[in-house]
Structure 1
Amino acid sequence: METDTCPTCDRATDAHDRHVRFQLPTPLFDLPDWEQLPGLWMSHATPSDSVMLQADGFGAFVRALLPIRLEGDHKLTYGVWIGVHPAQLQEAFAVWWGDNPAYAELRLEGVLANRIAPWDLLTKPVVATVVNQDETPYCTSSPDPLLSRVMAESWPHDEVLAHLP
């Protein structure tokens, strides 16, 4: 079977336009016994399926999508965790499911809770908004100059794809 190769970076084309979903926020992922954390609550049975979670001493987190444009009209989308104030977690929980029209107005302000290579974006401030009523909120803006650039510019394939698993 022949595999298509990208003319820009010589990687298989299926390495492009990928979705990478972080299992946990980095502070929890780094713990060997995160499942035993006191006050751990997840919106679903596993962290991979969850869109919200909270852990005593670590905070409240909500899923968001962070698209990264690659040169040549490719896109890598990260399913990240955003650290938010517990009141925002409650607000998101109240409108997230079903056809609640208030979901379209959801605006989350927090910090990125995942390391994203090749940039050092952990704890960078970010705003996530609902772009499509049927999708997870997207990271849409940031007061941080680096994160703003990451979201606005197109990046060389080798600079980004080399850091993926």
Structure 2
Amino acid sequence: MCGTRPTDRNRDVRFRLPDPVLNSPDQHTAEGSWLSDPDPNVATLMQIPEVSPFVRALLSVRVEGGHEVRFGVWVAVHPDDLQRAFAAWNAPEYSELKITGYLANRIEPWGLFAVPVNLAVLNPDHTPYCVSSANEQLSEVLTKVWPHDVLASLP
């Protein structure tokens, strides 16, 4: 650890599956499911019948001292938006992609789940970022600089 505690560093927390998929009987292997990669750790797009289509996104939380916690989350989206994202994903228009959906992973320590979130591509080499929300609490999470204690409560 180079003499520092893990709570003194930037953190990346990546969710393997959206919570509704994780809580479903067959998870991502349900009949008719589609993932952009067979490995859900690598997949960036997902469609699970009777659950929802999902897009992977990055949710960045700023922490005092210039640090950051970055959550690799899933966002439930409208089927049309999944199709639009799929069509743009490896095309030049990807950099202009904007999508609105609902957070599909519980984000602790705030307990955020199923709240609206707006996604935009900030870096064409990354998945879209969560950039804003009509939900007051998520908006605060995205814009406030949080104390280091927030890192101690992460898995």
Shorter-chain TM-score category? Answer: over 0.9
Offset from partner CA, 1:52-96 (integer Å, 9 cap, x none): 001111110001100011111100101100100010000000010
**Is 1:163 paired with 2:138?**
no
Residue of structure 2 equivalent to 1:118 = 109
Residue of structure 1 equivalent to 2:56 = 63
Structure 1 residue 32 displacement after superposition: 5.2
1:91 is aligned, of 65, 84, 89, to: 84
C-alpha RMSD of matched pairs (Å): 1.6
Tell me the TM-score normalized by structure 2: 0.93
CA distance in 1, matches of 2:143, 2:53: 27
8 Å Cα contact 1:52-1:89 kept in structure 2: yes
Q: Decide which structure has the larger Cα Rg and report it.
A: 1
**Is 1:106 paired with 2:97?**
yes
Deviates more, 1:26-35 or 1:61-70: 26-35
Q: Report the identity percentage.
A: 48
CA distance in 1, matches of 2:154, 2:25: 22
8 Å Cα contact 1:17-1:76 kept in structure 2: yes
2:131 is aligned, of 129, 140, 148, to: 140
The structure-2 alpha-carbon separation of the partners of 1:35 and 1:61, relative to structure 1 and needing over 3 Å to count, comes to closer
CA distance in 2, matches of 1:30, 1:71: 34
Letter of the 1:44 counterpart: D
CA distance in 1, matches of 2:55, 2:28: 18
Tell me the TM-score normalized by structure 1: 0.88
Moved over 2 A (4+): 2-5, 30-33, 162-165
1:152 is aligned, of 140, 143, 155, to: 143
- Larger relative CO (CA 8 A, sep 6+): 1 or 2? 2
CA distance in 1, matches of 2:3, 2:137: 33
Structure 1 residue 21 displacement after superposition: 1.0
Deviates more, 1:30-39 or 1:54-63: 30-39
CA distance in 2, matches of 1:149, 1:65: 16
**Is 1:18 paired with 2:8?**
no
8 Å Cα contact 2:109-2:154 kept in structure 1: no
Deviates more, 1:36-45 or 1:139-148: 36-45
